[in-house]
Amino acid sequence: MIKVIKKAFVVIGKEGSTLDGAGFIQKLWDDANGHFSEVAHLAKKDTNGNIVGIWGAMSDGSHAFNAWEDGFSKGLYLAGVECVDNAEAPAGWTKWIIPGYEYIVVENHNGAFEDTIKQMNEEGMSLVGAVHDYTDPATGKGYMYFPIREI
C-alpha cells in the first residue's frame, strides 16, 4: 500500500451521475475523449510537456467529495484531465477542485476497490472522501486513490 499526499487540484471533464443509468461512465469518457481538443490547452503538464493525469473523479451527489452513497452505488463522476489551477471550463465541460488529501494508491484491477476497503478496515482506517480513478498518461496504467486524511 503506497501513501501519497496530493494538494488540491483541478479536473475539467464531463460530469454525470449514477442516476443517468447503466454505462454512464463509458458515455462520459467517450464524450470527453471525443472533445479533448477543447480542453487540451488547459491540461497540466510535467517538465517534459506531457499531460500529468487523467482522472475519473468521484463525489457524492452534493459535490462535497464524500464517498458515493448507498454502499458506493450512488454518486457523481467526472471524466477528465488534471488542469492548471486557474483553468476555466469551456462550455459543456465541468470544473471540479478536488480537495487535498493523503491517499492510499493501489493499481486498479478487478476487485481492487473491495480488497483495499477490506484491508483499510482491518487496519482501522476509513475513507474521508470519495475514491478517484487515475490513469498515468505516460504508462497507461490505472490506479485508485483512496483518501484517508484531509490535508
Number of domains in the chain: 1
**Can you tell me the distance from the alpha carbon of 102 to that of 93, in angstroms, rounded to the nearest whole number?**
27
H or E element: which one contains 120?
A: helix 112-122
The whole-number pLDDT of residue 148 equals: 97
CA–CA dist 85, 76 (Å, integer):
21
- What's the pLDDT at 1? 78
Buried/exposed 91-102: b ≥16 CB within 10 Å, e otherwise = eebbbbebbebe
Average pLDDT over residues 83-87: 97
Q: What is the pLDDT of residue 18?
A: 96
Give this prediction's pTM.
0.95
123: which strand partners?
none
CB atoms within 10 A of CB 124: 6
Residue 117 has pLDDT above 90, yes or no: yes
Q: Which domain holds residue 37?
A: 2-150
Average pLDDT over residues 27-34: 98
**In angstroms, rounded to a whole number, what is the distance separating the alpha carbons of residues 117 and 125?**
9
Dihedral angle of Cα 91, 97, 98, 100, to the nearest 10 degrees: 160
- What is the mean pLDDT of the segment spanning 66-72? 93
The C-alpha cell that represents 51 in the structure block: 499531460
Q: How far apart are CA 96 and CA 9, in angstroms?
A: 8
Q: What is the CATH number of the domain that holds 75?
A: 3.20.80.10
Q: Which residue has the cell 464524500?
A: 66
Average pLDDT over residues 65-85: 96
Dump pLDDT digits (tens) for 132-147: 999 999 999 999 999 9
